[in-house]
């Protein structure tokens, strides 16, 4: 087993080995960007450690049946698991491999530069979980980082602490809440030379507040970057024109303190000299050079980036880059003119929007229970523990922080109006005070202020308005965000997974039938699906019939009665199970029929995991039994998830179907013979493999012959390379995650110009 991989050996496909952060660092290192050198201790090394030390079973037992809503028990269990890991000795072969790699790194650094003068190198030990590439923002930043680590023994200790941080209370909570098995997430430890930052900050290659892709936003402070993300100080903000790299504005904020490393490696807060406190933190030359690097990284990845950087002795270093997941969600809003109003507070726009409500000042986590739904949360700054309260808030105001602080990031993800860096919000505002927050302009008004809406503000590129032949749809599982998804401009919903709604009900579908309560199951589905269908009005909403594997959702009532299969991934699920238990399918079709009769005729259904025409015929018969005529009265489609479905596509079209939709996860797995949950072979999983692409091209060609619309709803639909390929093949629609919609729409529009010779749609 390989314990150590250097950055030069990694790329963006190395997530199963080095986690999300490690894979990105390797990708940028090999792109020739100024990345501080380093290496990763593989995720498989962590796996070997917990298995050989015999603590994996102990960890699983501690987490078994844990009630994550019991905060005290959750915290206690997290501490027990972490203590178990840090107190377990690392085997000598792993320990020696880490120490040897650290020695090589230090030797290389001393030879290459004068960045570190001491005999032993200061390094950062960062956690990089293999689940960090998931679309849910909650997974990001849950594990620990240890700075200024020096010496072989200390590095080994920090690595073990990194591994333990996989089981913080917050990480356990989010994995369990999102139904992500704990043992499916591994962790890599990154060992990287520490830059002794004189200045540092964050750069966005799209303006995160206005969603303008023609602007680069750079935040800068003196000292280490922890004070930027933590909102400890208010950073300088520079707005740069992406095309010309002209500095459009430079907003200078007073910085009185900064975090700096001393000679012993301790991070100490120091006062900034008085003459520097109101000066521009970095010169124009550095700002423009950062913008150049930002453009290069964005061009390489094909989507806007959130980049951490540092400067030491005039040299720029790129510390990390990740996709801006909120691009599009805050697209340009309507301009608003206030009829009247008294401005009482100013700050920086973190998430656009206008909201009126009553102030609730929160000075510490202990006061979070004071927040009621619709309150305006006013605080010095927020931390991850505040998220449940933030979800209740109608708007958020903070004294401190910039565009990359916790409050700003979470607000953008939630679509909640937010103003940061007001400096005195908690002092000027009073509990219960009625105010109006105009986060779009970064101002707060006394009382409730009426606004007059004007036409939409002009933007450099309004991607949502691009007209394409290929319909761009969204993948949507949560009814709670249906309104936000509909506002995105998506051409419909290409996939609704009913399993998420089922999990929220707490009862396994089979258990409803066993208890003789199919109507309760129908009611549950109607509520969730109906909410989504109403939000999208006349646009199509395609619902996949339940596809619950026997090893999933065992924690639901009745789930313990599920059979235990040797390989549930290719076992009893999809349409084969639904036909064995027709009462479940009948209940699902009944929910659709009732919604259809209530006027929601934009709903379609699709059958999962089809391998025979007979399965489609039997499902149609059940639909007719509940009072709906498939194809004629309602869109009735088939998921193309198996090689068998690809080979019988002509027979499926002749049988009569309304559409087909590619499920690329299963199709890739079954075509390549790869269990996507097996970490050892996960790097071989590739939706762009010629065999998979060949199957998809064949299906599209046959469907066009029979005038059957084609679509994709697998995760690969969010990949730009896949979108380009499918447009060339003539696919009718592409479904993507909500955070990828604009990027997919743009690449589809660009590709169609080439395919259709500039024709407008």
Token pair listed for 726: 């499918």
Token pair listed for 328: 């599009």
Burial 181-214 (b: 16+ CB within 10 A, else e): ebeebbbbbbbbbbbbbbbbbbbbbbbbbbbbbe
Say whether 418 is catalytic: no
Nearest to 195 by CA among 166, 226, 168, 167: 226
From CA 512, how far away is CA 155, in angstroms rounded?
53
Element containing residue 145 per DSSP (H, E): strand 145-149
List all residues 6 or more positions away from 550 whose beta carbon is below 8 Å from its beta carbon: 562, 563, 564, 565, 568, 571, 572, 573
Distance of CA 146 to the CA centre of its chain: 24
- Cα-based distances in Å from 141 to 179, 187, 209, 382, 714: 19, 13, 21, 15, 26
For the chain, what percentages of helix, strand and coil (3-state, to nearest 5) are there? 40, 20, 35
The residues facing 736 across adjacent strands are: 474
Helix count and strand count (H, E) for the chain: 25, 31
Whether the Cβ atoms of residue 99 and residue 152 lie closer than 8 Å to each other: yes
- Cα-based distances in Å from 73 to 66, 173, 703: 8, 11, 55
Nearest to 303 by CA among 276, 327, 337: 327
Distance of CA 187 to the CA centre of its chain: 18
Whether the Cβ atoms of residue 619 and residue 584 lie closer than 8 Å to each other: no
Q: Active-site residue among 40, 162, 406, 703?
A: 406
Output DSSP code: residue 607: E
Residue with tokens 């507070």: 345
Q: SS3 of 204, please?
A: strand
Output DSSP code: residue 14: -
Element containing residue 356 per DSSP (H, E): strand 354-361
Catalytic residues: 406, 713
């Amino acid at each position: 087993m390989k314990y150590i991989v250097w950055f030069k050996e990694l790329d963006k496909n190395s997530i199963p080995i080095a986690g999300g952060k490690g894979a990105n660092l390797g990708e940028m290192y090999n792109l020739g960007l100024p990345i501080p050198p380093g290496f990763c201790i593989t995720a498989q090394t962590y796996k070997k450690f917990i298995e050989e030390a015999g603590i994996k079973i102990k960890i699983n037992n501690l987490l078994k049946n844990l009630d994550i809503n019991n905060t005290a028990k959750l915290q206690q269990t997290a501490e027990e698991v972490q203590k178990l890991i840090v107190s377990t000795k690392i085997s000598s072969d792993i320990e020696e491999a880490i120490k040897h790699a650290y020695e090589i790194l230090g030797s290389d650094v001393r030879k290459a530069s004068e960045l570190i003068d001491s005999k032993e190198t200061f390094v950062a030990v960062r956690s990089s979980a293999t689940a960090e590439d998931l679309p849910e923002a909650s997974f990001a930043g849950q594990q620990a980082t240890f700075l200024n680590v020096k010496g072989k023994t200390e590095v080994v200790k920090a690595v073990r602490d990194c591994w333990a941080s996989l089981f913080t209370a917050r990480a356990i909570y989010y994995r369990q809440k999102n139904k992500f098995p704990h043992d499916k997430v591994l962790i890599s430890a990154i060992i990287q030379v520490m830059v002794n930052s004189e200045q540092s900050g964050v750069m966005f290659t799209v303006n995160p507040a206005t969603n303008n892709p023609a602007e680069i936003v750079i935040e800068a402070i003196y000292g280490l970057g922890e004070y930027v993300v933590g909102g400890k100080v208010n950073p300088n903000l520079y707005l740069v024109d992406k095309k010309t790299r002209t500095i459009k504005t430079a907003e200078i904020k007073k910085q009185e303190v900064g975090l700096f490393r001393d000679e012993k490696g301790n991070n100490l807060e120091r006062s900034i000299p008085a003459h520097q406190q109101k000066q521009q933190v970095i010169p124009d030359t550095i700002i423009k050079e950062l913008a150049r690097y930002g453009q290069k990284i964005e061009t390489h990845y094909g989507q806007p980036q959130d980049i951490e950087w540092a400067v030491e002795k005039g040299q720029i270093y790129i510390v990390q880059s990740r996709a801006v997941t909120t691009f599009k969600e805050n697209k340009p809003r309507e301009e608003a003119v206030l009829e009247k109003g008294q401005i009482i507070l100013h700050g920086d726009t973190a998430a656009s929007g206008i909201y009126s409500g009553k102030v609730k000042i929160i000075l510490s986590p202990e006061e979070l229970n004071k927040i009621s739904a619709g309150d305006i949360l006013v605080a010095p700054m927020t931390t991850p523990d505040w998220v449940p309260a933030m979800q209740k808030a109608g708007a958020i105001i903070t004294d401190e922080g910039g565009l990359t602080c916790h409050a700003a990031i979470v607000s953008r993800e939630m679509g909640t109006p937010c103003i940061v860096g007001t400096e005195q919000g908690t002092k000027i505002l009073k509990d219960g005070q009625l105010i109006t927050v105009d986060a779009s302009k970064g101002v707060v008004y006394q009382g409730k202020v009426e606004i007059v809406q004007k036409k939409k503000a002009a933007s450099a590129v309004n991607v949502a308005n691009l007209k394409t032949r290929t319909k761009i749809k969204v993948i949507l599982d949560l009814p709670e965000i249906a309104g936000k998804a509909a506002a995105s401009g998506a051409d419909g919903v290409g996939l609704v997974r009913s399993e998420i709604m089922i999990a929220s009900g707490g009862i396994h579908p089979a258990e409803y039938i066993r208890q003789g309560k199919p109507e309760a199951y129908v009611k549950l589905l109607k509520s969730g699906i109906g909410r989504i269908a109403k939000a999208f009005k006349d646009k199509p909403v395609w619902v996949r019939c339940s596809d619950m594997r026997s090893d999933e959702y065992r924690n639901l009532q009745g789930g313990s009665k599920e059979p235990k299969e040797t390989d549930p991934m290719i076992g009893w699920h999809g349409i084969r199970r639904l036909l064995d238990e027709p009462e479940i399918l009948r209940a699902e079709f009944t929910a659709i029929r009732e919604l259809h009769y209530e006027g929601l005729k934009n709903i379609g259904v699709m059958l999962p995991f089809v391998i025979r025409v007979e399965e489609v015929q039997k499902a149609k018969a059940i639909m007719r039994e509940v009072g709906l005529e498939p194809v004629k009265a309602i869109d009735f489609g088939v998921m193309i998830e198996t090689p068998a479905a690809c080979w019988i596509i002509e027979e499926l079209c002749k049988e009569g179907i309304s559409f087909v939709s590619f499920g690329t996860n299963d199709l890739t797995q079954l075509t390549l013979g790869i269990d996507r949950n097996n970490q050892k072979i996960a790097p071989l999983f590739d939706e762009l493999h010629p065999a998979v692409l060949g199957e998809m091209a064949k299906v599209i060609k046959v469907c066009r012959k029979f005038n059957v619309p084609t679509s994709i709803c697998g995760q690969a639909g969010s990949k730009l390379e896949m979108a380009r390929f499918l447009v060339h093949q003539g696919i009718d629609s592409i479904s993507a995650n909500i955070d990828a919609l604009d990027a997919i729409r743009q690449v589809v529009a660009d590709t169609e110009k080439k395919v259709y010779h500039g024709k407008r749609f």
